[in-house]
């Protein structure tokens, strides 16, 4: 597989394309076939070495990505594709990425994205606090009632702390 890596030293010029063997998941790990990557300011800081110079090299900078689960390691028991979940009806006084219109509603997990920086913690100075991220699909009528278009589906990205099994 191809991977963008910071190999021997930090810096934008040190970012190279490398060929690596396909990863195998270890216990409690998930391998995700990455389809899209969003490079954030944090990734730029990582590449430059301004985020944490103690990160082991080589490394692949990636705060946000999406794709499909390709393999799971022993002991992976989290929510899986096809599970029915309900978003928690939370009202934090600080930051959250859970849309208000989706709170307290039932949907189906479409995709597992792996663990990512949890913005609810990062926004209030509590560190990265990695959490599992899922795509959850809702029927529009579940979100907005009987007057919504009956065939319309809405998908959101939801972190595991926002969800509960139904």
CATH of the domain at 46: 3.90.180.10
- List pLDDT tens digits, range 57-90: 888 887 666 666 777 777 766 767 778 888 999 8
Are residues 67 and 97 part of one domain? Answer: no
Q: What is the pLDDT of residue 59?
A: 85
CATH of the domain at 115: 2.30.30.50
Residue 101's SS3 state is helix
Q: What is the pLDDT of residue 92?
A: 86
Q: Tokens representing 138?
A: 């809702």
Residue 129 lies in a domain: yes
Structure letter (DSSP) for residue 44 = H
Q: Tokens representing 53?
A: 């110079």
Are residues 157 and 92 part of one domain? Answer: yes
Distance between CA atoms of residues 41 and 145, nearest Å: 39
Count the domains in the chain.
2
Q: How far is CA 133 from the centre of its chain?
A: 4
pTM over 0.85: no
With bands split at pLDDT 50, 70 and 90, how would you rate the model's confidence at 93?
Answer: confident
Range of the domain at 44: 2-72
Q: How far is CA 2 from the centre of its chain?
A: 20
With bands split at pLDDT 50, 70 and 90, how would you rate the model's confidence at 54?
Answer: confident
């Amino acid at each position: 597989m191809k991977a963008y890596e910071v190999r021997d030293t930090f810096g934008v010029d040190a970012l190279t394309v490398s060929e690596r063997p396909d990863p195998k998941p270890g216990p409690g790990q998930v391998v995700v076939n990455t389809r899209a990557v969003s490079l954030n300011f944090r990734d730029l800081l990582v590449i430059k070495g301004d985020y944490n110079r103690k990160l082991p090299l080589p490394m692949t900078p990636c705060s946000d990505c999406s794709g499909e689960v390709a393999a799971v390691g022993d002991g992976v028991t989290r929510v899986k594709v096809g599970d029915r979940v309900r978003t928690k009806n939370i009202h934090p006084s600080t930051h959250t990425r859970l849309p208000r219109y989706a709170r307290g509603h039932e949907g189906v997990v479409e995709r597992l994205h792996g663990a990512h920086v949890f913005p609810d913690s990062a926004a209030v100075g509590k560190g990265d606090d990695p959490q599992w991220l899922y795509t959850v699909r809702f029927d529009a009528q579940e979100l907005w009632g009987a007057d919504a278009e009956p065939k319309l589906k809405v998908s959101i990205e939801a972190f595991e702390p926002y969800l509960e099994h139904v």
